[in-house]
Chain A
Amino acid sequence: MISWILVIIGEILIAVGAICDLIAAIGMNRFPNFFVRLHALTVGTIGGAFVPLIGVALLSLGAEFLGVYRFFMAGASIVSAVLLLFLAPVGSHAIARAAHRSKAATVHPKVVDHLEEDRERGVVV
């Protein structure tokens, strides 16, 4: 019973991950400028990689036919998921900061950019 619940929750999480990946791919193609595309990219890394990895962990915990190896699979998935949760936001943060500081990416359809205004006033380095 409990293993069935784990399998079903895991499959739902993997399906959510696949949908997030699809949304991220569409966003990467359709969004107008660099920073909004980076937002779509992070949907792909957290929603499309972290969530399905947790799903894989739950799924393998529920799959009793794997024997004792299901704990190895679940542990490896959770470790990879936690690493992704740490590293993916830092990577996109570093890319975004570098792009904004070096003015390599133009923000074309722009409503407001407080960080740029602060840079011009000299509040933020």
Chain B
Amino acid sequence: MSSTLRNIVVIVTLTLMVVGLAVVLTVGGFGFSLPPHNVRALATIFLNTTLNLDANYRYVSAMSPEAVTAIVWDYRGLDTLFETSVMFIAIVGALAISRGATEKLLKTSPPVLGMSLITKTITRITIVMILAVGASIALHGHLTPGGGFQGGATIAVVPMLLIIIFSIYLFSKMITIYKAVTLRSVGLIGIALSSFIVLIIAALYGGSAYIFQNQPKLHSHYGLPSYAEPILLGGTLLFFNVFETLAVAFGFAALFILFTIPEDAVKSAIMGEE
């Protein structure tokens, strides 16, 4: 009897909560009302300056239809560079803590590797799809929602699936930690070069430009092409997205290899000599 009463109380409470939340959200309580007008004016500024072919806006426009990517890599590119370097330093820290732990210590492999044949077959099909989705998220980052970090994180699912389903013993023969960290460094060097590329071009022509410059600005008329008929290129945004994808995907791959090496194999290497 008491359990029926409890069920009824639970149902009534949940219903009241759902209806109450719906009413409150509809009439705009809890501070969830529409934003005030001055915030919308800021949104208007961003909408006017992200992609504007008008001559008056030519020197303030980022020439990318995707406002988030334009803000992340153009309006506040230096911020994003520091965000990327924070993640790089985290991975360097993880590698430094477990120094000496490499996949070379995996010597004796168990007789049966990975999960069942059904799982392996389907994984072979799906990793191709995941790679395609990740590449499209990254390469269309300046046109549609997405970008380098999102594409790289999507691609990082592939090493995780390969490690879990085909086992670390097979995956570490494909990509070693050293190779993954090297490719990650290539991505970071690419990001650093992309932030200077307009400056380098301007220096070759004897002019001056800003660091992290993408499109021509009022006092420096250099910039990368933003519009090759009929496609939008997005200037440096495309380079940033590609290199960020490389950096994020291989950074995660290195971490996954490092964290899935069995403790028995690397314990003596991590503890070192007394």
- Which residues of A line the B interface, CB within 8 A? 83, 86-87, 90, 93-94, 97, 125
Contacts and interface: CB of A to CB of B under 8 A. Distances in A.
Contacts of B5: none
Interface string B107-137: 0000010011011001001100100000000
B126 A94 contact: no
B116 A93 contact: yes
B119 A94 contact: yes
Contacts of A83: 126, 129
Interface residues of B, number: 9
Interface string B170-187: 000000000000000000
A59 B129 CA distance: 26
A90 B126 CA distance: 11
5 contacts: A83-B126, A87-B126, A90-B118, A94-B116, A97-B115
A49 B118 CA distance: 21
Interface of B: 112, 115-116, 118-119, 122, 125-126, 129
Nearest to B118: A93
A87 B125 CA distance: 10
A interface: dominant SS: helix
A86 B112 CA distance: 24
A94 B115 contact: yes
Contacts of B118: 90, 93
Contacts of B126: 83, 86-87
Nearest to B122: A90
Nearest to A86: B122
A12 to B, nearest CB: 30
B125 A97 contact: no
Contacts of A86: 122, 125-126
A118 to B, nearest CB: 15
A86 B119 CA distance: 10
A93 B119 contact: yes
A48 to B, nearest CB: 20
A125 B116 CA distance: 11
Nearest to A125: B112
A90 B121 CA distance: 10
B122 A87 contact: yes
Contacts of B119: 90, 93-94
A60 B162 CA distance: 37
Given A87-B126, A97-B116, 10 more contacts: A86-B122, A86-B126, A90-B118, A90-B119, A90-B122, A93-B116, A93-B118, A93-B119, A94-B115, A94-B119
A94 B118 CA distance: 9
Nearest to B112: A125
A50 to B, nearest CB: 15
Contacts of A93: 116, 118-119
Contacts of B122: 86-87, 90
B87 to A, nearest CB: 29
A52 B119 CA distance: 25
Contacts of A97: 115-116
A112 to B, nearest CB: 22
Contacts of B112: 125
A83 B119 CA distance: 14
Contacts of A87: 122, 126
A93 B119 CA distance: 8
Contacts of B125: 86
Contacts of B129: 83
A93 B116 CA distance: 9
